[in-house]
């Protein structure tokens, strides 16, 4: 992807995963070419449409924002600051960016404009490389490369530092982004970098790296279609969804430096988004893991989705109805209570999983993934491993606008059972520390390694006399 189109594509890509993470803000992003409005702004009809659309967005947020105090000055001030600029916009992108800048004065996630060209368009689903990059200590580091993916087959490995894509410097891009102050801004930066390195199926970029030995490397691969199925929900653009479940091979565990005998049979469940289309696969996997010695749920890169799915998935792990948190809106309150899944699809009593549960996260895990992980950690049912999540945990909905675009806007606040807010701060690992660039260089699955070490310690504590679960230290 070239920088001339980056402003629009970045905005669209972030919206595809239902997060308003600020990518369209001109205050954060470099300026780029923009598509002209269909009708010149001098025409009265165009100015009136932009005025009506602006007023519609402002009014919807005024009436539905979870914090009614925004009506006491700040939101009124935002209208005065941005309305004239929105009406005078001469491009679609500058008009949308003005709306986005106004919404960013709220400082919250899940406020965004979904362009009408991508809402409902399967062509908006981007290509897949299998590579994830996170900015660690200011450096763009490859933190994950899925086996068998285009990036893996091109020889790219975790721990490598990214330098350039098609000659364009990633460091130059990072220099144009303000240093993040919150988890939400940090996740925004990571998403910008990953989109800068992204593309559509069939594109074959040349990317320059420095490998873990300090040697310059250039790799070229061809983006593939994302694995899984393309699903859609409501007014949101279609998204790729996939689910995989398996029991870890003892050799795989040993390769991470952990004794397989100390962790036993470990079930690994990975799914890419919280969408109803994946619910049958997730349920089948968890029913099949009733006899495992430990469970790992991989939510790295999972941006969220349908929040109500939390109750059903958590029901596989909790034998009694248990609150994982509450959503509070203007005129409603919802308790995300687990729904115990004691009977499988064949009508057999199977109980719930009572083994240790570890959840893998990263800076691209957001929304429903954060509610699930944060709620289970809050009640002591699971531990998380990886870098802090996005801090984008506000329940949201969509609303069609007069100009054909879609408004994504938050309608509630979410807090864990103990009253902890995830918005802006994210869910963070509390056992040891998150992996460093060096950890990724030495272990392809650093988060999984730390989770397995914790599992070994948990099993040793539960069965101190069992020689196969000897004491093992937690991650340091």
By three-state DSSP, how is residue 165 classified? strand
The pLDDT tens digits for 6-16 are 333 333 333 33
- Determine the pLDDT at residue 3: 38
Q: pTM, whole model, 2 decimals?
A: 0.83
Give the range with max mean pLDDT: 86-95, 117-126, 229-238, 278-287.
Answer: 278-287
Mean pLDDT of 228-243: 83
Contacts of 42 (CB under 8 A, 6+ apart): none
For the four alpha carbons of 340, 345, 349 and 353, in that order, the dihedral sign comes to negative
Q: Is 245 within 8 Å of 288 (Cβ atoms)?
A: yes
Mean pLDDT of 225-252: 89
Mean pLDDT of 64-71: 84
Tally the C-alpha atoms within 13 A of residue 168's C-alpha that lie toward its C-beta. 15
Residue 250 has pLDDT above 50, yes or no: yes
Residue 97 has pLDDT above 80, yes or no: yes
Task: Give φ, ψ of 313 to 5 degrees.
Answer: -65, -45
Structure tokens, 455: 């599992």
- Determine the pLDDT at residue 12: 35
Residue 32 has pLDDT above 50, yes or no: no
Q: What is the distance of C-alpha 281 from the center of its chain? A: 20
CATH topology of domain 242-391+426-469: 2-enoyl-CoA Hydratase; Chain A, domain 1 (3.90.226)
Structure tokens, 373: 């992980």
Residue 29 has pLDDT above 90, yes or no: no
Percentage of the chain beyond pLDDT 90 is 67
Mean pLDDT of 335-362: 96
The pLDDT tens digits for 363-385 are 999 999 999 999 999 999 999 99
DSSP, residue by residue, 425-455: T-----SS----HHHHHH-TTHHHHHHHHHH
The least confident of 65-79, 206-220, 353-367 is 65-79
Residue 195 has pLDDT above 70, yes or no: yes
Residue-range domain boundaries for the chain: 3-123, 126-220, 242-391+426-469
Tally the residues of the chain: 476
Structure tokens, 369: 């993934």
Please give the Cα distance from 393 to 175 (Å, whole number). 27
- Determine the pLDDT at residue 332: 81
Mean pLDDT of 35-54: 66
The mean pLDDT of the chain is 86
| pLDDT tier, 465 (very low <50, low <70, confident <90, very high otherwise) | low
Q: What is the distance of C-alpha 345 from the center of its chain? A: 30
- Determine the pLDDT at residue 325: 96
Q: Which of 121, 187, 102 is nearest to 409 (CA)?
A: 102
Residue 436 has pLDDT above 80, yes or no: yes
- Determine the pLDDT at residue 231: 87
The least confident of 41-45, 74-78, 149-153 is 41-45
For the four alpha carbons of 303, 306, 307 and 310, in that order, the dihedral sign comes to negative
Mean pLDDT of 332-350: 93
DSSP letter assigned to residue 25: -
Per CATH, the homologous superfamily of domain 126-220 is PDZ domain (2.30.42.10)
Query: Strands 383-386 and 357-361, how do they pair?
Result: parallel
CA distances from 386 to 60, 199, 222, 257, 274 (A): 37, 26, 28, 17, 19
Residue 304 has pLDDT above 80, yes or no: yes
Q: Is 112 within 8 Å of 14 (Cβ atoms)?
A: yes
Strand partners, 409: 397
- Determine the pLDDT at residue 109: 83
């Amino acid at each position: 992807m070239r920088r001339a189109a980056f402003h629009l594509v970045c905005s669209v890509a972030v919206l595809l995963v239902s997060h308003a993470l600020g990518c369209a803000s001109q205050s954060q992003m470099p300026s780029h070419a923009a598509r002209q409005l269909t009708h010149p702004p001098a025409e009265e009809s165009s100015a009136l449409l932009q005025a009506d659309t602006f007023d519609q967005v402002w009014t919807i947020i005024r009436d539905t924002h979870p914090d009614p105090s925004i009506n006491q000055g700040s939101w009124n001030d935002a209208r005065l600051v941005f309305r004239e600029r929105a009406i005078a916009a001469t491009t679609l992108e500058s008009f949308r960016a003005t709306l986005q800048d106004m919404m960013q004065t709220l400082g919250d996630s899940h406020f965004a404009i979904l362009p009408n060209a991508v809402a409902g368009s399967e062509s908006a689903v981007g290509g897949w490389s299998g590579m994830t990059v996170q900015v660690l200590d200011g450096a763009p580091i490859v933190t994950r490369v899925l086996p068998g993916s285009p990036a893996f087959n091109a020889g790219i490995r975790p721990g490598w530092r990214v330098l350039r894509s098609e000659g364009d410097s990633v460091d130059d891009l990072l220099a144009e982004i303000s240093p993040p102050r919150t988890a939400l801004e940090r996740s925004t930066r990571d998403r910008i970098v990953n989109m800068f390195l992204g593309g559509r199926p069939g594109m074959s970029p040349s990317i320059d790296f420095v490998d873990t030995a300090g040697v310059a490397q250039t790799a070229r691969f061809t983006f593939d279609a994302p694995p899984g199925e393309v699903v859609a929900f409501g007014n949101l653009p279609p998204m790729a969804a996939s689910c995989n479940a398996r029991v870890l091979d003892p050799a795989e565990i040993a390769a991470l430096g952990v004794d397989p005998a100390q962790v036993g049979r470990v079930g690994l469940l990975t799914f890419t988004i919280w969408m109803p289309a994946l619910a049958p696969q997730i349920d089948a996997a968890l029913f099949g893991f009733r006899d495992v010695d430990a469970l790992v749920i991989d939510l790295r890169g999972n941006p969220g989705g349908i929040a109500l799915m939390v109750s059903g998935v958590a029901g596989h792990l909790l034998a009694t109805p248990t609150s994982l948190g509450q959503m509070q809106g203007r005129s409603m309150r919802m308790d995300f209570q687990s729904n115990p899944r004691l009977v499988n699809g064949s009508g057999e009593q199977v109980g719930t999983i009572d083994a240790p549960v570890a959840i893998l996260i990263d800076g691209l895990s957001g929304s429903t993934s954060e509610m699930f992980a944060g709620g289970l950690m809050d009640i002591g049912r699971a531990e998380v491993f990886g870098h802090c999540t996005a801090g984008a945990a506000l329940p949201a909905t969509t609303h069609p606008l007069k100009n054909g675009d879609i408004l994504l806007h938050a309608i509630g606040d979410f807090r864990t059972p103990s009253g902890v807010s995830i918005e802006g701060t994210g869910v963070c690992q509390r056992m040891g520390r998150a992996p460093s660039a060096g950890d990724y260089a030495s272990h392809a699955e650093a988060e999984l390694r730390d989770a397995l070490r914790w599992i070994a310690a948990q099993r040793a504590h539960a069965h101190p006399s069992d020689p196969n679960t000897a004491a093992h230290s937690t991650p340091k």
